[in-house]
Amino acid sequence: MTTIGRACRDVLLTADPHAKVMLARSVARGWRLGRIGEACDVAMPERPARPDRPELLPPTQMPRRGKGGSLRARIAMLHALAHIEFVAIDLAFDMAGRFGAGFPRAFLTDWLRVGADEAMHFALLDRRLRSLGSHYGALPAHDGLWQAAQETAHDPLARLAIVPMVLEARALDITPATIARFEAAGDMVSAKMLRRIMRDEIRHVSAGTKWFRSATNHLSLDAAAHYQLLVQRHFRGGIKPPFNDSARHEAGLTRDFYSPLAS
């Protein structure tokens, strides 16, 4: 029987997008069925394997996506979202494999479920790109998400604060406007897909917030104050309104966490 540590590492070291999706979903299913041991017994790689495409550029060198609801602009947006979901697979399995030994078994269950969700989201977006005459890898992408993982590789509380509670929470803020853009362009298929993804992302932010609160409580730390400290220390982008307060609140990420950081 393999262990969850080895299984998570295998996901991270799989470069091919289709193979990564299939392995991520298989590992999550194997864990759920009790076919994978609980030990987090191997180190996670510093960087996951990546396919030859897309070309990874610094964020400042990314080409403009185009304006309005043109086909080109919609493809560029879907490609950017697909890349986010592709990296999010690795973020979830790295969370489990890197930090799982320090948490209850339910922590592993939550993040493996998140990883399976992200794999499903990527598959949906890549399928939609192909239906529009494109595919994942056809456009460049940036590596900012994994930079956040490297910045927080030493501290599970920092990882929880930055990835689900900043980056995924930001997706809750901006996705409604993105959905509206697709609807205005008459692309109801993409809009419906993004609504489905957003419902899952609320659950992901909720998992991050739950485990952050649990860990800070165990350490007798004020959760909101420690969150603010970690964000100021590890996140360079700033926490910017407008906020989707209702979605954040549904995920347990209340205003006392982020309002003092708003710029």
Quote the pTM value: 0.95
Q: Is it the case that residue 105 has pLDDT exceeding 90? A: yes
Q: Is it the case that residue 67 has pLDDT exceeding 80? A: no
* Least-confidence region, from 40-44, 52-56, 76-80, 202-206: 52-56
Q: What is the pLDDT of residue 228?
A: 97
Kind plus residue range of the DSSP H or E element containing 156: helix 156-162
What tens digit of pLDDT does each residue of 184-212 get?
999 999 999 999 999 999 999 999 999 99
User: Sorting pLDDT into bands at 50, 70 and 90, what band is 143?
Assistant: confident
Residue 262: beta bridge partners? 239
- Tell me which DSSP letter residue 262 carries: B
Q: What is the pLDDT of residue 68?
A: 64
Domain boundaries, the chain: 76-261
What tens digit of pLDDT does each residue of 117-126 get?
999 999 999 9
Question: Beta strand 56-57 with 141-142: parallel, antiparallel or unpaired?
Answer: parallel
**Cβ within 8 Å of residue 71, ≥6 positions away:** 132
User: Sorting pLDDT into bands at 50, 70 and 90, what band is 31?
Assistant: very high
Burial class of residue 150, CB neighbours in 10 A (0-12, 13-18, 19+) = exposed
Class of the 76-261 domain?
mainly alpha
CB of 246 closer than 8 Å to CB of 202:
no
CB of 58 closer than 8 Å to CB of 45:
no
- Tell me which DSSP letter residue 44 carries: P
What tens digit of pLDDT does each residue of 229-239 get?
999 999 987 89
The mean pLDDT value for 249-255 works out to 97
Q: Is it the case that residue 66 has pLDDT exceeding 70? A: no
Please name the residue ranges forming H helices in the chain: 4-12, 17-32, 71-99, 105-131, 144-151, 156-162, 169-184, 188-218, 223-234, 245-250, 255-258
Backbone angles phi, psi at 159, to 5 degrees: -65, -45
